[in-house]
């Protein structure tokens, strides 16, 4: 027979261990704790995650900041259902208990009943109701705002407590008498009535710059119920004084949104002034950090568990040529020259592996005994001195199975470039520097310039595919659309096309002498080859000057 368990019943787990408290119980423990507790403001799912990472044990879902984040005034302009949507995202984003700023309850006792039930259904641990009239006005606007009738507000409190779906749900009654200038006696009278009506705690509010009237209230109140404060205006008061006064909980009510406004305004102004991201990119959170905060890693693990397994991409790296870096390449090929304690090849392979490309085949030739790297398959082109790049690629033909990345062994690039190629839906995609035009100084090897059916425009809306026409180191400057980075990606079908083109070159007697630009140009004449434009963030190491730049590449 199955056992029906109350949602509030503590069930012993393995070895008699109790499960962790619910969010409802966690908030009640914070409010009733004999030590001072702190709730930090959040206004959406992301800020809720930030509060949790900062080490707080509870969240204040501020009505002011939730409204402001929606571009609305703190005057009940956002409907309670719109607010509820935001709160649900917050509750899903964090394991912390959330105390909701419920304003006046969004209406009379009936609105309060429905609001509290919906909060409980979504795992919101508590609500704070203020004794003002609906629609409310923020407490720091104007003077002498009218308050609700005491008995009517007590009815709202009773309706909320009668409607909660968990015994540990917390209802905090917020007393606005001091804000409205009605004095200490009225504040105490209201607090006592609200306590008798069932409020779990009292929030006493003040907009004075000192906490004198808060401390006076606390002395008179004498701990009859937990006391909550919001020191937005009297922020200079030492926190230790709150402890001495017997305050239960301090709410830092709006500071995440306020700090975000300052940061966003500064960033927006700087970008508008510069028409560039250069000055701000190192001052803002990385996109990778955004991915971390919203839990992309968990999604990746879930994909591995629930989606059909996709064979990982492999890579072929062409590193057979000697290169010419003076004495540095006397006993080793260019790909093995040191860059900050790691060879060029090792740096390239590390980037491939960071993007999930772990099956790497390297075609070596000149001083092949010097080309050593753990976990990499080596294929030799012993005719490197008399053959071209297509022949080296043909030496690794067995490695071109399924999705394949093709790269020169002397290029460096930021990981996002490779990630973009891997995410492309094209069967063949080339990474092309839209700014590349051969003006990178004298180099032993002229750049591989690209002619495509459309130039890079820089417009975000310009998202149609760009088709390759040809690649050559003999393209006129006014015809070039950019420089090929020596990096391409082939889908499984694209890899089959590549194999076909290698076979065709062999049949025509061109395989020994052909380079990759010729191979790609021939492929583009028969198959769709897509150009993906980038602007910098890569390096082709051809000279000692390039090598010096590579040591600062990151």
Query: Which residues carry out catalysis?
Result: 74
Q: Which residues contact 248 (CB under 8 A, 6 or more apart)?
A: 31, 32, 33, 36, 37, 201, 226, 227, 228
Contact 388, 502 (CB under 8 A): no
- Give the pairing of strands 428-433 and 530-534: parallel
In the block, tokens 């049949």 appear at 507
CA 84 – CA 77 distance, rounded (Å): 13
Q: Which SS3 state, helix, strand or coil, does residue 241 take?
A: helix
Nearest to 523 by CA among 459, 467, 481: 467
Show the tokens assigned to 203: 């929030």
Helix, strand and coil in the chain, % to nearest 5: 40, 20, 45
Q: Which residues contact 37 (CB under 8 A, 6 or more apart)?
A: 30, 31, 57, 58, 248, 249, 250
Measured CA to CA in angstroms, residue 460 lies from 422, 456, 464, 533 at distances of 20, 11, 10, 12
Element (H, E) at 86: helix 80-93
Nearest to 52 by CA among 241, 295, 300: 295
Question: In which region does residue 340 sit, left (phi positive, over 0), alpha (psi from -120 to 50) or beta (all else)?
Answer: left
Show the tokens assigned to 108: 């009379």
Give me the residues paired with residue 204 across strands. 175
């Amino acid at each position: 027979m199955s056992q029906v368990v109350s949602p509030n019943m503590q069930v012993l787990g393995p070895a008699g261990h109790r499960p962790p408290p619910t969010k409802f119980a966690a908030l009640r423990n914070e409010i009733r704790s004999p030590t001072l507790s702190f709730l930090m403001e959040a206004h959406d799912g992301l800020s809720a995650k930030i509060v949790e990472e900062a080490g707080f044990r509870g969240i204040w879902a501020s009505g002011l900041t939730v409204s402001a984040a929606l571009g609305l005034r703190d005057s009940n302009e956002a409907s309670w259902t719109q607010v509820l949507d935001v709160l649900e995202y917050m509750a899903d984003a964090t394991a912390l208990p959330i105390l909701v700023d419920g304003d006046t309850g969004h209406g009379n006792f009936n609105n309060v009943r429905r609001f509290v039930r919906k909060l409980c259904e979504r795992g919101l641990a508590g609500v704070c109701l203020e004794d003002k009239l609906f629609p409310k006005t923020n407490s720091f606007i104007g003077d002498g705002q009218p308050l609700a009738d005491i008995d009517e507000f007590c009815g709202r409190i009773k309706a909320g407590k009668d409607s909660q779906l968990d015994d540990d749900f917390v209802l905090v009654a917020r007393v606005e008498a001091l804000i409205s200038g009605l004095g200490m006696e009225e504040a105490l009278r209201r607090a006592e009535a609200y306590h008798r009506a069932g409020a779990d705690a009292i929030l006493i509010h003040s907009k004075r710059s000192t906490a004198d009237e808060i401390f006076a209230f606390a002395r008179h109140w004498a701990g009859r119920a937990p006391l909550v404060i919001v020191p937005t205006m009297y922020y200079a008061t030492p926190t230790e004084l709150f402890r001495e006064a017997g305050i239960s909980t301090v709410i830092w009510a709006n500071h995440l949104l306020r700090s975000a406004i300052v940061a966003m305004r500064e960033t927006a102004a700087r970008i508008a002034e510069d028409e560039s991201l250069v000055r701000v990119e190192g001052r803002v959170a990385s996109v990778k950090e955004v991915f971390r905060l919203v839990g992309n890693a968990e999604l990746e693990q879930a994909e591995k568990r629930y989606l059909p397994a996709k064979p990982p991409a492999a890579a072929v790296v062409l590193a057979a040529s000697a290169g010419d870096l003076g004495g540095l390449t006397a006993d080793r090929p260019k790909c093995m020259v040191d860059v900050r304690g790691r060879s060029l090849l090792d740096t390239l392979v590390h980037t491939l592996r960071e993007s999930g490309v772990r099956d790497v085949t390297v075609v070596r030739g000149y001083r092949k005994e010097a080309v050593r790297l753990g976990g990499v398959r080596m294929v030799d082109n012993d005719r490197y001195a008399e053959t071209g790049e297509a022949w080296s690629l043909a030496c690794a033909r067995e490695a071109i199975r399924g999705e394949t990345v093709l790269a020169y062994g002397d290029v460096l690039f930021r990981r996002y470039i490779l990630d973009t190629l891997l995410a492309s839906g094209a069967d063949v995609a080339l990474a092309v520097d839209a700014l590349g035009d051969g003006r990178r100084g004298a180099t032993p090897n002229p750049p591989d310039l690209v002619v495509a059916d459309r130039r890079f425009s820089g417009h975000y809306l310009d998202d149609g595919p760009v088709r390759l026409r040809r690649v050559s180191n003999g393209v006129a400057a006014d015809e070039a659309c950019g420089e090929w980075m020596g990096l391409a990606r082939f889908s499984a079908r694209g890899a089959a096309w590549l194999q076909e083109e290698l076979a065709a070159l062999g049949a025509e007697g061109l395989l020994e002498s052909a380079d990759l630009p010729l191979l790609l140009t021939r492929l583009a004449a028969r198959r769709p080859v897509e150009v993906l434009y980038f602007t910098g963030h890569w390096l082709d190491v051809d000279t000692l000057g390039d090598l010096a730049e590579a040591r600062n590449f990151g």
